[in-house]
Amino acid sequence: MLDMKWIREHADEVQRAADGKRIALNIGELLAADDERRRWMRETELLRETRNRASQTIGRLMQEGDREQAGKLRSETAQMLEQLHEAERRLAEAEQVWGQLMLRVPNIVSADTPWGESDADNVEMRRTGEPPAFEFEPRSHVVLGELHGLLDLARGVKTAGARHYYLRGAGVLLHRAVQQLALDLLLERGFMPLDVPLSVRHEAMMNTGFFPLGQDQSYKIEEEDRWLVGTSEVPLIAYYSNEVIDVSEPVKLAAASMCFRSEVGSAGRDVHGLYRVHQFAKVEQIILCEADFDVSERLLQEITANAEELLHLLELPYKVMAVCTGDMSQKTYKQFDIETWMPSRGAYGETHSSSNVADFQARRSNIRYRDADGKLRYCHTLNNTAVASPRILIPLLENHQEADGSIRIPQALRRYMGGMERLVPPAALTEPRMM
């Protein structure tokens, strides 16, 4: 959320951001709605003041024994009360219209954010590592997973429907290992871990900028004002809602949690195997800091570097992309995506995302701090996916496969895998397979 006074002074910039992010919003309509709201606010305040003065005068006349004059004034006040009720009704309507439009106002974007229509217009900043040059026909993560008994897609669909899965045996261990590696990395870098609620109130989703525009991507718990989170970013930010906090040093939080997304509108797109599923796990890193763009830019680079370090430890080739306006969410001021090489796709696929949200979430969530002058200000917030699994298992299995179907386990993961150095395909699977 942006400050209304600031929106008025920078209407063209806000409209440009809305257009760039493909958000249907007319800033002119918002300004007109705000004018209407303020008009009825002034009218209501004036009528309330008149009512209060009349009440005081009536009280004084009654004390003086002038009941006739008090009665006459009371009759005159009755008509004014009708006007007040009407003004209050009109104010409530105007505030509702204005409030709905305000919820669609996007964050502005940084000066160095590229402009474009979709992820095809994202700009590569750097790449690290080289895709492996296999001397054999590489297998997909689905084939490798089935060969090693690491996953069972058919039974996942049988049990829960499309885009659900079972991880099995060493697949579970890898899934847990990458999460623990990421969490340990963040602990070393000063992040405080939290175990967070996986269902939150509608207010928390709204305040963190995931509603109303992303509401169709979330699962609602019927008959309750609760929603399943698609990222622990929501409960981590909500942790400090309506508080004044100390950001003399940036507040760094991390969580490993399950996440849920409906993925409405993605039918037929990136749905093979484990790439786009309804249930997954993420290790998320969140930072709250002072409202200084130099500070939050430095921290954006820091959390992105943390994700890159994780990929170094997993020995995976990747590239960092500057995300364009058309691929950004409403709340985002500046964003980087990290794409990791996936041999089965013959391309890089998104595995991580870093965002500077500036004070957009803090305004909605009312998270403030006192600056050096003692003035209350809204914090800047930042977020990054340190790792998301099972998606990360796609490049992990595919890049480290060998000709005989074995899969080498990166050195950094072996301590979480009981010292296992590689996965060797069994000669035969003893458990009955679904036919």
Active site residues: 261, 276, 350, 353, 391
Other Cβ atoms within 10 Å of 326 Cβ, number: 18
Share of the chain residues as helix, strand and coil, in percent rounded to the nearest 5: 45, 20, 35
CA distance 80 to 234: 46
CA distance 259 to 350: 17
3-class state of residue 349 by DSSP: strand
Torsion of CA 312, 313, 315, 318, to 10 degrees: -30
Strands 251-260 and 192-193: parallel
Chain centre to alpha carbon of residue 35: 32
Tell me the two tokens of residue 430.
């003893």
3-class state of residue 308 by DSSP: helix
3-class state of residue 364 by DSSP: helix
CA distance 237 to 30: 27
CA distance 395 to 384: 19
Strands 243-244 and 367-370: parallel
Chain centre to alpha carbon of residue 158: 31
In terms of phi and psi (left: phi > 0; alpha: psi -120 to 50; beta: otherwise), the region of 367 is beta
Tell me the two tokens of residue 48.
């309330």
Tell me which residue of 83, 109, 98, 81 sits closest to 21, measured CA to CA.
Answer: 109
Strand spans (E) along 149-194: 151-152, 166-167, 192-193
CA distance 267 to 270: 8
Tell me which residue of 34, 142, 6, 20 sits closest to 97, measured CA to CA.
Answer: 34
